[in-house]
Structure 1
Amino acid sequence: MSDDPRIPAPRASSDAAPVPHGPCVLLKHGEVFLKGRNRHRFTERLQDNLRVALRGVGGSTWIKTAHNVTVLGGQVPVEALVERARRVVGFNSVEPAVRVPSAFDDITASAIDALRAVSGERRGLRFAVRVRRWDKQFPLTSSRMEVLLGSRVLDAVPALTVDLTTPDVTLNVVIDRRETYLSCERLPGLSGLPVGTSGRALVLLSGGYDSPVAAHRAMRRGLACDFVHFNGAPYTNPSSVYKAYALARELNRYQPPGTLHVVALGKAQKQLAVAGAGRLQVVAQRRLMVRTASALAGRIGAQALVTGDSLGQVASQTLANLVAVDEAATLPVLRPLIGREKQEIIDEARSIGTADISVLPDEDCCSLLAPPRVSTGARLPHLRSVEKRIDLEEVVEALLDSAQVLRPGEDEEVPVADDGCPAPA
């Protein structure tokens, strides 16, 4: 106990269980904080998603909530907890921390240890202390606590210097009724709404940069995502399916895992070509994709489609062609990247971990039977005329009945069928 008369004696506590010292992680809530009466629902989903992200982490964990912050700890290295928590959509920041009893001497000792560890052999490292009291009954004000902690740290680690304006390191201290959290590092989280709070969507997942980034952005707006990939089988090799599987597995790191549906589109593409699609071939294929995806969404309970379209990026993504494609859908078509430039999309793909997969070579079904020049202003009467020459209902039903359903998991290998394609789960 401190003999400094400025320091009050520890408060008596009715709680019998002592507060354990040890590392933990503070997870600051993002938009959940802004929710009103439904906040508890968003918080519950956020923590459910966190539990899913912690599966297989290699030890027991615990989670508690206090003042719009989730505290995470357990018998697991804090680095592993941080890595898993940073995948969960809905946390603004992730802070490795240490938990100690809310007694001045315990807080002081931990503050000295933390800043001594950060400073190492460096001299002149500038530091600041920031204190926040969740427990307003704590006998020292936040500003007074900052002064006392700072002076104790300087006495114990004279190599440090105080800089309250531009410190090299900031020690954040959060004081609650029984326990206090100290941290020197604040990492950015994914922010956004917890996955699943906005409903379920079906992502048209190709092997390129765009659609995985669109899926990730949809997740950050609270959409739980399943995936559908159209390949050119039997006229193309399975390379695009392997890429789609790898992309879905990477994206599933950010959400409770969604399923991947693989649809072999090659024969239907040939039917459109034989029906005389000509320069409309690519747009007609896209209409068939969204028509099929809409029917699949109805089967799995998805409420919207998500695509990676960016306005004007390629010929099939002119405004006229996008309008023509939307007319074939029976659900809203969401385009999170509609105003993004290609380099912005590539940079974001690198940040979420999908770029190295997207760059791999494959046989894209969109280029199969594509004409030398694609129509940039497809007209609906012409497209409907082509589509009348084939039985669309029968085609869509056949595509869905032959679709493969895969469940990409973080640590599993791709199951392979006898034909060399990923096998249905």
Structure 2
Amino acid sequence: MTSIVVHYKELALKGRNRPWFVQLLVRNIRTALRGLSVRSVRSVMGRIEVELSDERSWDEARDRLRRVSGIANFSCAGRGPLDLPELSAAILRDLEGQHPDSFRVSARRADKRFPLTSPQIEREVGGRIKLARSWRVDLEHPALIVHVEVLSDEAFYYFGKEAGAGGLPTGTGGRLACLLSGGIDSPVAAYRMMRRGCSVLLIHFHSYPILSRASQEKVRQITSLLARYQQRARLVLVPFGELQQRVLLAVPPELRVVVYRRLMLRIAERIARRAHAQAL
């Protein structure tokens, strides 16, 4: 099984611009899987197929795909012909070594011109599996679900689903800037915007050399974690210590925090404009 079938949900609701969203998701998947033995990444009939050269790359590919925004779920899959006896034989070969208490077959037709309906495909393939393995059929709570997806010239089959990050593909929501403090709130805000398809520029204000470099090191670590979810991330470090000292001497104590934040906002706004960010 050297294919990965990627499904998306929210993109399917798009209208005439859906191909653009799918194209960006394909690009992001290629970027995320760079360095692995990937033959091709292509959009095919409402899903995306990643073809691996070596099935040993599946574990690393799974870890990377989990962090790609826009993916609802994905599965390690095999390919088979549209001939159901041959397809059933391929499924049985890949089921070698498995001994579930129960199973069921779940079929979908991407090409409605296929002569059998989805329930008929389920009965045909499921009957052949039951005949060969004598497994118990359980349509409500099966221990194993055999998924079959019929396309126009071939079929995919897989035995489980991995959850994706959901949301929209990175790059579809425009560019924005986010102030990163090093606490929990701002990284979560940045991550949530990444899931909505935004490319996020990160801005951090530090007080070095008045204080240590600890805050800079912390935000670098946070940036490296967030970069996994948008493939690349840019961090702008702004020295703020001198301005803090000036405010300390000129502004009453009860207004200092407000002035600090106002200055940070004005500086971040200029950085965002230079980076062509559409929001802050």
Pick the TM interval, shorter chain.
Answer: over 0.9
Structure label with greater radius of gyration: 1
Q: Deviations over 1:212-242 (max 9, x none)?
A: 1111100111110111111111211111111
2:68 pairs with one of 64, 74, 88: 88
- Structure 2: 5+ residue runs without aligned partners? none
- Structure 1: 5+ residue runs without aligned partners? 1-21, 306-425
Overall identity of the aligned pairs, in % = 36
SS in 1 for 2:59: helix
Q: Which residue of 2 is the match for residue 50 of structure 1?
A: 29
SS in 2 for 1:280: helix
Q: Which residue of 1 is the match for residue 181 of structure 2?
A: 206
Q: Deviations over 1:279-338 (max 9, x none)?
A: 222222111111110010011111111xxxxxxxxxxxxxxxxxxxxxxxxxxxxxxxxx
Contact persistence 2:170–2:196 (CA under 8 A): yes
Give the Å deviation of 1:138. Answer: 2.7
State TM-score, norm by structure 1.
0.63
Q: 1:55-94, aligned counterparts within 5 Å?
A: 55-57=34-36, 59-76=37-54, 77-94=57-74
Q: Deviations over 1:222-281 (max 9, x none)?
A: 110111111111211111111111111111111131211001111111111111230222
In 2, the alpha carbon distance for the partners of 1:273 and 1:105 equals 80
In 2, the alpha carbon distance for the partners of 1:136 and 1:193 equals 28
Q: 1:64-213, aligned counterparts within 5 Å?
A: 64-76=42-54, 77-119=57-99, 125-158=101-134, 160-213=135-188
SS in 1 for 2:222: helix
Q: 1:270-281, aligned counterparts within 5 Å?
A: 270-281=245-256
SS in 2 for 1:260: strand
Q: Deviations over 1:132-179 (max 9, x none)?
A: 122233333321221121121112212x21001111221110011222
Q: Which residue of 2 is the match for residue 234 of structure 1?
A: 209
Identify if the C-alpha distance between structure 1 residues 233 and 277 changes in structure 2 by more than 3 Å, giving closer, same or farther.
farther
Contact persistence 1:129–1:150 (CA under 8 A): yes
Q: What code does the residue aligned with 2:47 have? A: V
2:236 equivalent to 1:258:
no
State TM-score, norm by structure 2.
0.94
How well do the aligned residues superpose, as a CA RMSD in angstroms? 1.5
Q: What code does the residue aligned with 2:42 have? A: K
- What is the total number of aligned residue pairs between the two structures? 278
Give the Å deviation of 1:130. Answer: 0.9
Contact persistence 2:71–2:164 (CA under 8 A): yes
Contact persistence 2:111–2:152 (CA under 8 A): yes
Contact persistence 2:103–2:138 (CA under 8 A): yes
Contact persistence 2:26–2:42 (CA under 8 A): no
Q: Tell me which protein shows more strand as a share of its residues.
A: 2
Q: Which residue of 1 is the match for residue 6 of structure 2?
A: 27
Bigger relative CO (Cα 8 Å, ≥ 6 apart): 2
SS in 1 for 2:2: strand
Contact persistence 2:106–2:148 (CA under 8 A): yes
Q: Which residue of 2 is the match for residue 408 of structure 1?
A: none
Give the Å deviation of 1:111. Answer: 2.3
Q: What code does the residue aligned with 1:189 have? A: G
Q: Deviations over 1:154-209 (max 9, x none)?
A: 12212x21001111221110011222111111121111111111110111112122
1:295 pairs with one of 262, 265, 270: 270
Identify if the C-alpha distance between structure 1 residues 277 and 183 changes in structure 2 by more than 3 Å, giving closer, same or farther.
farther
SS in 1 for 2:212: coil
